[in-house]
Structure 1
Amino acid sequence: MDEIIKKIIQFRDERNWKQFHDPKDLALSISLESSELLELFQWKNSQQAIDQNYSDMRDEIADILIYTLTLAYDLNVDVMDAILQKINKNAEKYPIAKSKGSSQKYTALNEYGRMP
């Protein structure tokens, strides 16, 4: 992961693009690239979209990850640690006994919509 982040930052810095990469603009870019990915699914079922747009999907996913990793780097967020912490939080919100096989939000899994 560190090697990938290093390459992303080197690419940015060689082009003097850091001046355009404040946290707000990086967050906006993540959202915009996510919308571009979503657009590839518009008016198709999942399999049709994948069959017709797989290469473009790869590019959009890469763009999302590049902007996300750049933002994490600039905010000094340890990506691996953040992911592990979030998985732990989600495990508390979605205990296996209540959430297995369910698509309900955690608030709906508990009585009165509150955490236990």
Structure 2
Amino acid sequence: MDLPALLTRLHAIRDANAWRRYHNPKNLAMAASVEMAELVEIFQWKSDAEARALSAAEREHAGQEIADVLLYLLQLGNELELDVEQAVLAKLADNERRFLP
């Protein structure tokens, strides 16, 4: 996944719609949370088995919500001047150190 290219595309959408003033860290974190809630809603009241056997429409919807969360988080990382790829790799290495034998 080419994160800089994704950010370029996201910024083009943002700028074409004059949304820059709304894309501060607080609003982006809140937007990611709202999208995460929409993802959670897909699984609400489902058993473990049902959650693993989503219909094609539910799987597509889940993919859309996962993408929304990811895109907002990429924008948040950018606004905080974080290297998101490096942050992910560092966190993964930390988890490996902590949780692998």
Cα deviation, 1:11-38, whole Å, max 9, x if unaligned, reads: 1111110111110111111111111001
Cα shift at 1:92: 2.3
Higher percent of residues as helix: 2
Cα deviation, 1:48-84, whole Å, max 9, x if unaligned, reads: 4354511211111111011111111111111111111
Aligned residue in 1 for 2:59: 54
Greater Rg, structure 1 or structure 2? 1
Q: For 1:37, which of 36, 39, 43 is the aligned residue?
A: 39
CA RMSD in angstroms comes to 1.4
Aligned residue in 2 for 1:91: 96
Counterpart CA distance in 2 for 1:52 and 1:8 is 25
CA contact (8 A) 1:40 1:49 kept: no
Aligned residue in 2 for 1:70: 75
SS in 2 for 1:40: helix
Aligned residue in 1 for 2:7: 5
Question: Normalization by structure 2: what TM-score?
Answer: 0.85
Counterpart CA distance in 1 for 2:73 and 2:38 is 15
Aligned residue in 1 for 2:27: 25
What is the one-letter code of the residue matched to 1:19?
Answer: R
Question: Normalization by structure 1: what TM-score?
Answer: 0.75
Cα shift at 1:8: 0.6
- Which runs of no fewer than 5 residues in structure 1 stay unpaired? 98-116
